[in-house]
Amino acid sequence: MNKYVNYIYLTICEVTLKSIKGTNFISYTTYCKEMAISLKSNNLSSRDRRTLIAIYDKLDPIFSLNTDEAAIFIVQFFELEPTRLREFELAVRSTNELFPVMGDC
Model confidence pLDDT, tens digit, residues 34-46? 999 999 999 999 9
Residues 39-65: tens digit of each pLDDT: 999 999 999 999 999 999 999 999 999
CB 8 within 8 A of CB 63: yes
Q: What type of residue is 89?
A: E
Asked whether 92 and 105 are in contact (CB, 8 A), the reply is yes
Q: Give the span between the Cα atoms of 31 and 87, in whole angstroms.
A: 15
